[in-house]
Amino acid sequence: MVFVASVSGISSAPRHAAYGAAKAALMSWVRSLAVELGPKGIRVNAVAPGVVWTPRISQYLGEKGREGQSRNAPLGRVALPEDIASGILFLASDLAGYVTGQTLVVDGGVGVKFPYPMNL
């Protein structure tokens, strides 16, 4: 089983309290299900996307927003839906045969960056 969570369940953002709480609960549920279903050979994991360039996000952020998000990502671009699908495919595949109870963050490295500029 592979669920879709969000980085909002790991980090906070204005006006995302309810959404973030729901995604954090989903990630906790994934861990609980992994413990419960593991003895039956069922693996349970989640993918937590960051910003994904979809038509809705495109309308909301525009090209300027895309450029800003790309500059913020260590990999230098915003995720595409295919990037998230690849994470899901990995977790569903035999390559992740001994992975359960995990949340794979697919955010281009945004979440691991120190939040303040260091070029003082």
Share of the chain above pLDDT 70, in %: 98
> Is residue 115 domain-resident?
no
* pLDDT tens profile 60-69: 888 888 898 8
Q: Which listed residue (19, 60, 98, 116) is catalytic?
A: 19
Number of domains composing the chain: 1
In this predicted structure, the answer to whether residue 119 has a pLDDT above a threshold of 90 is no
The residue range of the domain holding 99 is 2-108
Q: Give just the sign of the alpha carbon dihedral 102, 108, 112, 116.
A: negative
For residues 85-114, give the mean pLDDT. 96
What integer is the mean pLDDT of 89-117? Answer: 93
Is there a catalytic annotation at residue 19?
A: yes
* Residue 63 forms part of a structural domain: yes
Q: Sorting pLDDT into bands at 50, 70 and 90, what band is 120?
A: low
**What CATH number is given to the structural domain containing 41?**
3.40.50.720
Whether 65 maps to a domain, the answer reads yes
DSSP 71-120: HHSTTSS-B-HHHHHHHHHHHHSGGGTT--S-EEEESTTGGGS-SS----
Query: Is residue 117 one of the residues assigned to a domain?
Result: no
Residue 46 has phi, psi (to 5 degrees) of -140, 160
Q: Is the pLDDT of residue 49 over 90?
A: yes
Q: What percent of the chain clears pLDDT 90, i.e. is strictly above it? A: 73
Average pLDDT, the chain: 93
**Spacing of C-alpha 16 from chain mean position:** 15
- pLDDT at residue 20 above 90? yes
